[in-house]
C-alpha cells in the first residue's frame, strides 16, 4: 500500500462534488492537525429524509470515516423565520413541539447514514435567540446588493415578486450558525452555494477562520427531471418499505442512471450494461442499504412476482393523468388510455378485471390522482399502462 497524502484525501472528498470553495481551502484545512468540524444545516419543516438528502449525508459520512466531526444544526429557530428554499414567499411558522418531533424523525433517519459517535447535534435556538443589538451587529455585515445577487432573490426581485426584509435575515442567521459552531466546512446542495459563501464573510467579520463551502449536485426525483422533493411527489424516502424503494427506483427514467450512480453508488455507472440491469442493481443496493441485505433481496423478489410472474413487463408504456384534477374518474381514464369504451371500462372495474400495482382493484370508480401517479394499471392479463401526472413547472 502507498501512503495516503492530503492531496489524495482532497481528491477523494471532492471527486463527486460540484464545488469546494475557495480553491485550495479544503486541502489547507485537511493539513490542520485536528478533526475538522463539518456543518450541515437541517430544516425541521421537512423531517423525512429521501435519497436526495442522502447525497449530502453520505458525503458527511466520508468525512466521519476519515476522523472528522459532523455538526448537524437543527434550524429550530430559523424554522420560525421563513422559507430557506426561496420557493414560497413565507412558510407558515412551526410551533416548538412540531419542530422537536420533526427533528427526532430526521435524526432517526439520518443515523442510517451517519456515524452517531462522530456527530454533534445542535439547535440554533441555542444562539439565535440573541439580543437585538447582536442582531444589529450581524445585520451590519452584508449589503442589500450582495443578498440580491442570490439566484432566487435576483429572479424574484427582477420579476417584481415581493421579498420581505425578514427573508434577507435568514441567510444572515444561517451564516451566524457557522460562527457559533466554528465550522471548518459546510455542506449543501448547489442551491445553497450563496448562503455557504456568505457564511464565510460573516465568520470573517467575527474574527473566525472562514469555512470551506462545499456544494453537491442535486439529485433529480423519480421523474428524472425536477429536484427530488416531497412537495413534487417524486421522492424515495429512506424510511419507506424496501419494496417501495425498489419499485420507485425501477421507475426512474433510464437517462437519470448516470447521475444516480454518481451521487448514490460507490461504483461507477457502466454504460455498456443494459439500462434495466443498471436500475436493478441500483434498486437492490438502495433497498439493502436502508433495510439490510435480506429485505433488499425480498424487495427484488416482490418486484419480480408483480412484473415477471404476472407478465408485467419491466418497461411499461406511460399515459398521462389529466392535469389539474385531484380526483380521477377511472372509466374515463381507462377508456382514453386503453382505447376501450367507458362501459367496457366500467364492466372491468366492477368485475375484478383491473389491477393497480399488481393488486386487484375493487374500490369504486374514482381515485385520488396522487394515488394513481406512478402506478401501473393492468387490464386483464396483458394490457399495462403506467400513469403519470404531467410535470407542471412548480
223: cell is 421523474
Cα–Cα distance, 261 to 270 (Å, whole number): 9
Inter-CA distances, 367 with 38, 216, 335, 375, Å? 46, 38, 15, 12
Looking at the Cβ atoms of 75 and 220, the one nearer to a copy of itself is 75
Looking at the Cβ atoms of 131 and 272, the one nearer to a copy of itself is 131
Helices (H), 186-271: 193-205, 242-250, 257-264
Find the shortest distance in angstroms from Cβ 95 to a copy of itself: 12
Residues forming the site for a copy of itself (CB under 8 A): 80-81, 90, 128-130, 132-133, 135-136, 139-145, 147-148, 157, 160, 162-166, 168-169, 172
231: cell is 412537495
Looking at the Cβ atoms of 30 and 128, the one nearer to a copy of itself is 128
Among 176, 219, 229, residue whose Cα is nearest residue 198:
176
- At which residue does the C-alpha cell 390522482 appear? 369
Find the shortest distance in angstroms from Cβ 102 to a copy of itself: 19
- Answer for the pair 179, 208: CB distance below 8 angstroms, yes or no: yes
Find the shortest distance in angstroms from Cβ 79 to a copy of itself: 12
74: cell is 437543527
Sign of the torsion formed by the C-alpha atoms of 227, 233, 238 and 243: negative
Looking at the Cβ atoms of 76 and 300, the one nearer to a copy of itself is 76
Looking at the Cβ atoms of 124 and 278, the one nearer to a copy of itself is 124
Task: Kindly give the pairing relationship between strand 185-189 and strand 212-216.
Answer: parallel
Instruction: Give the relative orientation of helices 132-139 and 165-180 as an angle to the nearest 10 degrees.
Output: 100
Among 88, 391, 57, residue whose Cα is nearest residue 221:
391
Find the shortest distance in angstroms from Cβ 213 to a copy of itself: 20
Find the shortest distance in angstroms from Cβ 34 to a copy of itself: 33
Among 170, 216, 177, residue whose Cα is nearest residue 200:
177
Find the shortest distance in angstroms from Cβ 84 to a copy of itself: 14
Find the shortest distance in angstroms from Cβ 394 to a copy of itself: 22
Find the shortest distance in angstroms from Cβ 203 to a copy of itself: 17
Looking at the Cβ atoms of 148 and 259, the one nearer to a copy of itself is 148
Looking at the Cβ atoms of 175 and 296, the one nearer to a copy of itself is 175
Looking at the Cβ atoms of 125 and 336, the one nearer to a copy of itself is 125
- At which residue does the C-alpha cell 470515516 appear? 65
CA 150 to chain CA centroid, Å, is 21
Cα–Cα distance, 352 to 343 (Å, whole number): 14
Looking at the Cβ atoms of 1 and 165, the one nearer to a copy of itself is 165
Find the shortest distance in angstroms from Cβ 201 to a copy of itself: 12
Amino acid at each position: 500500500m502507498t501512503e495516503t497524502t492530503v492531496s489524495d484525501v482532497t481528491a477523494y472528498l471532492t471527486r463527486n462534488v460540484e464545488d469546494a470553495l475557495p480553491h485550495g481551502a479544503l486541502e489547507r484545512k485537511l493539513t490542520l492537525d485536528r478533526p475538522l468540524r463539518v456543518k450541515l444545516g437541517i430544516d425541521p419543516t421537512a423531517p423525512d429524509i429521501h435519497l436526495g438528502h442522502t447525497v449530502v449525508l453520505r458525503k458527511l459520512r466520508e468525512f466521519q470515516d476519515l476522523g472528522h466531526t459532523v455538526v448537524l444544526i437543527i434550524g429550530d429557530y430559523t424554522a420560525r423565520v421563513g422559507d430557506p428554499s426561496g420557493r414560497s414567499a413565507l412558510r407558515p411558522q412551526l410551533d416548538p413541539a412540531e419542530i422537536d418531533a420533526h427533528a427526532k424523525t430526521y435524526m432517526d433517519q439520518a443515523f442510517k447514514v451517519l456515524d452517531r459517535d462522530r456527530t454533534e447535534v445542535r439547535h440554533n435556538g441555542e444562539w439565535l435567540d440573541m439580543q437585538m443589538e447582536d442582531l444589529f451587529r450581524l445585520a451590519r455585515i452584508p449589503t442589500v446588493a450582495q443578498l440580491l445577487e442570490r439566484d432566487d432573490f435576483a429572479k424574484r426581485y427582477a420579476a417584481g415578486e415581493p421579498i420581505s426584509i425578514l427573508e434577507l435575515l435568514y441567510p444572515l442567521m444561517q451564516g451566524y450558525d457557522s460562527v457559533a459552531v466554528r465550522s471548518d466546512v459546510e455542506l449543501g446542495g448547489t442551491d445553497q452555494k450563496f448562503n455557504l459563501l456568505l457564511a464565510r464573510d460573516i465568520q470573517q467579520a467575527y474574527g473566525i477562520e472562514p469555512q470551506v463551502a462545499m456544494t453537491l449536485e442535486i439529485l433529480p426525483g423519480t421523474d428524472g427531471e425536477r429536484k427530488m422533493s416531497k412537495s413534487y411527489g417524486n421522492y424515495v424516502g429512506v424510511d419507506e418499505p424496501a419494496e417501495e424503494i425498489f419499485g420507485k427506483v425501477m421507475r426512474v427514467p433510464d437517462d437519470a442512471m448516470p447521475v444516480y450512480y454518481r451521487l448514490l453508488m460507490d461504483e461507477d455507472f457502466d454504460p455498456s450494461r443494459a439500462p434495466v440491469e443498471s436500475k436493478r442493481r441500483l434498486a437492490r443496493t438502495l433497498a439493502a442499504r436502508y433495510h439490510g441485505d435480506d429485505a433488499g433481496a425480498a424487495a427484488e423478489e416482490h418486484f419480480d412476482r408483480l412484473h415477471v410472474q404476472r407478465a408485467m413487463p419491466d418497461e411499461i408504456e406511460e399515459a398521462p393523468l389529466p392535469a389539474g384534477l385531484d380526483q380521477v374518474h377511472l372509466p374515463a381514464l381507462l377508456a382514453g388510455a386503453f382505447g376501450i369504451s367507458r362501459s367496457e371500462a366500467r364492466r372491468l372495474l366492477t368485475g375484478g378485471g383491473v389491477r393497480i400495482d399488481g393488486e386487484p382493484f375493487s374500490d369504486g370508480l374514482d381515485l385520488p390522482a396522487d394515488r394513481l401517479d406512478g402506478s401501473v394499471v393492468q387490464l386483464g392479463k396483458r394490457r399495462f399502462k403506467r400513469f403519470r401526472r404531467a410535470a407542471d413547472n412548480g
